[in-house]
């Protein structure tokens, strides 16, 4: 089989054929840094990370670029409200964003360009659109993209002659456009706003142009994959296609891949609806950030997913159990004589690859992981090795089981002491030692090969991962 991805552009699963297998170009729309990201935003970044990890697992080289939107209506509004420089307002949220993705074990992209670092290139790009007749200046001095000049407008969202109500992009009165569907490329300065000089006067770039320019600068005129949340499809990505293809005359993106929303109580999580949680809320309740990652993996990226505190509790405990199972396999591996049945590992490897290649079927891949861990026809060491290999895609830090396996010496001493009295059938003593070990944060499980000891899952105080 070959990797198949659902392409929003063609509305079907397609075999992925990269321009260059050694360097797959992946552009992911990044955060608008005016506030703390909510876990709905993080679900999108997690899906994009799974895509990247899957590509790498399947042997592709990946060059990923994720922009940081620091020039946008919301960042500017906040700067004006707080009477601060734009960079002073965005800086703490940029910092938080990097903290969040690190906690979620999201792989680092190759570049995180800031819009503020690319305004000159954006101005140049808009000049090209003007020269080619795709853009015009409104009476308010802003520059607009003329949708009537671009024949294929609407190909991503799948609508011909899209009717847009005023206000979806910007109100026509406010910006004096020719057509309500036209979108802004350059916004003329309004009083108090941060601005940049251009031949059309002071102003700032629109959001859509930022992504087209940074995508092309770092990845070239045509790229393999562009991702984002489903709410980016229209108008953001549709407009990116229009601007980019109008300038180059070439296809902008071969595969558009979009992740679904995270819901709360069946509703879309949104800042405006005030029904959102952040990663800090999850941590404050004593759960691991990785629990959110587990939740994201447990549903297909194209399915809506309802967030509940019960689901995060389940995910947190599921990760802890995986670590424990793998720790137990390490313990067993040192004692058992099981030989792996011929062909069995290959079977599992292939099923796993198939699940990933089928448009990143992570729920199926997770159930395969559990099957590998419990397969008695495979030696403990081989089960562990294969699980770690699969974790290249999951990113659940399964190798952490090795770290947790290092039980402190004072606990080991207590465990050996308990084993001694237990063998002598001094059960009262052995039980009281078990309780003592438990009070120190460890659990003893009597196995065929002797006592296996493991840290207790404890939401409040747990080893750093």
Where do contacts with Zn ion occur on this chain (CB under 5 A)?
29, 211
Query: With respect to Zn ion, which residue has the nearer C-beta, 29 or 295?
Result: 29
CB of 81 to Zn ion, least distance (A): 24
Angle at 228 between CA 226 and CA 230, to 5 degrees: 125
Query: Rounded to a whole number, what is the distance in angstroms from the first to the last CA of the chain?
Result: 35
User: Are the C-beta atoms of residues 195 and 205 closer than 8 Å to each other?
Assistant: no
CB neighbours of residue 78 within 10 Å: 18
User: Are the C-beta atoms of residues 157 and 168 closer than 8 Å to each other?
Assistant: no
User: Are the C-beta atoms of residues 206 and 69 closer than 8 Å to each other?
Assistant: no
CB of 206 to Zn ion, least distance (A): 11
CB of 416 to Zn ion, least distance (A): 59
Query: With respect to Zn ion, which residue has the nearer C-beta, 86 or 211?
Result: 211
Query: With respect to Zn ion, which residue has the nearer C-beta, 211 or 241?
Result: 211
Query: With respect to Zn ion, which residue has the nearer C-beta, 210 or 357?
Result: 210
CB of 375 to Zn ion, least distance (A): 43
Helix (H) or strand (E) segment spanning residue 254: strand 253-259
Query: Helix 380-394 crosses helix 362-373 at what angle (to 10 degrees)?
Result: 160
Query: With respect to Zn ion, which residue has the nearer C-beta, 244 or 387?
Result: 244
- The residue among 352, 110, 67 whose CA lies nearest residue 227 is 67
CB of 67 to Zn ion, least distance (A): 6
CB of 164 to Zn ion, least distance (A): 19
Query: With respect to Zn ion, which residue has the nearer C-beta, 29 or 106?
Result: 29
Angle at 24 between CA 21 and CA 30, to 5 degrees: 170
> Residue 185 has which token pair?
């490329």
Query: With respect to Zn ion, which residue has the nearer C-beta, 257 or 396?
Result: 257
CB of 115 to Zn ion, least distance (A): 10
Query: With respect to Zn ion, which residue has the nearer C-beta, 238 or 391?
Result: 238
| CA–CA gap between residue 242 and residue 240 (Å, rounded) | 6
| CA–CA gap between residue 463 and residue 190 (Å, rounded) | 52
Query: With respect to Zn ion, which residue has the nearer C-beta, 29 or 104?
Result: 29
CA 173 to chain centre: 38
For residues 269-284, b (16+ Cβ closer than 10 Å) or e, as one string?
A: beeeeebbbbbeebee
- For residue 247, what are the CA distances in angstroms to 135, 150, 188, 216? 11, 11, 22, 11
Residue for token pair 């952490």: 400
CB of 88 to Zn ion, least distance (A): 24
CB of 241 to Zn ion, least distance (A): 11
Query: Helix 362-373 crosses helix 344-357 at what angle (to 10 degrees)?
Result: 160
């Amino acid at each position: 089989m070959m990797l198949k991805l659902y392409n929003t552009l063609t509305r079907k699963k397609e075999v992925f054929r990269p321009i260059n297998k050694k360097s797959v170009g992946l552009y992911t729309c990044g955060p608008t840094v005016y506030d703390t990201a909510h876990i709905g935003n993080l679900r999108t970044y997690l899906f994009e990370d799974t895509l990247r990890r899957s590509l790498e697992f399947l042997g592709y080289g990946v060059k990923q670029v994720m922009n940081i939107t620091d020039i946008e209506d919301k960042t500017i509004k906040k700067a004006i409200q707080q009477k601060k420089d734009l960079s002073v307002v965005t800086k703490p949220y940029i910092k938080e964003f990097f903290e969040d993705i690190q906690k979620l074990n999201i792989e680092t992209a190759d570049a995180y360009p800031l819009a503020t670092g690319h305004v000159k290139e954006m101005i140049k790009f808009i000049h090209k659109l003007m020269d080619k007749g795709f853009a015009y200046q409104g009476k308010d001095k802003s520059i607009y993209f003329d949708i009537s000049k671009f024949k294929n407008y609407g190909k991503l969202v799948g609508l011909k002659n899209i009717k847009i109500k005023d206000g979806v992009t910007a109100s026509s009165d406010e910006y004096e456009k020719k057509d309500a569907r036209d979108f802004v490329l350059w916004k003329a300065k309004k009083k108090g706003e941060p601005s940049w000089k251009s031949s059309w006067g002071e102003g700032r770039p629109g959001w859509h142009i930022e992504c087209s320019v940074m995508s092309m600068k770092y990845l070239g005129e045509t790229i393999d994959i562009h991702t984002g949340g489903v709410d980016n499809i229209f108008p953001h990505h549709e407009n990116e296609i229009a601007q980019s293809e109008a300038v180059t005359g070439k296809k902008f993106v071969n595969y558009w891949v979009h992740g679904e929303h995270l819901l709360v109580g069946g509703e879309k999580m949104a800042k405006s609806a005030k029904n959102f949680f952040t990663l800090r809320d999850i941590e404050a309740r004593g759960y691991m950030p990785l629990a959110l990652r587990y939740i994201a993996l447990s549903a297909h990226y194209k399915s809506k997913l309802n967030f509940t505190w019960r689901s995060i509790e389940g995910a947190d405990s599921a990760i802890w159990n995986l670590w424990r199972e793998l720790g137990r396999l390490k313990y067993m591996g040192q004692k058992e004589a099981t030989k792996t049945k011929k062909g069995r590992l290959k079977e599992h490897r292939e099923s796993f690859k198939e699940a990933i290649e089928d448009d990143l079927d992570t729920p199926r891949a997770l159930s395969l992981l559990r099957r590998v861990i419990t397969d008695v026809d495979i030696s403990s060491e081989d089960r562990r090795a294969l699980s770690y290999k699969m974790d290249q895609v999951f990113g659940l830090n399964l190798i952490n089981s090795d770290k947790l396996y290092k039980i402190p010496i004072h606990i080991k001493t207590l465990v050996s002491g308990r084993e001694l009295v237990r063998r002598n059938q001094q059960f009262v003593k052995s039980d009281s030692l078990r309780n003592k070990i438990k009070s120190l944060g460890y659990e003893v499980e009597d196995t065929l090969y002797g006592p296996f000891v493991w840290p207790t899952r404890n939401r409040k105080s747990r080893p750093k991962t």
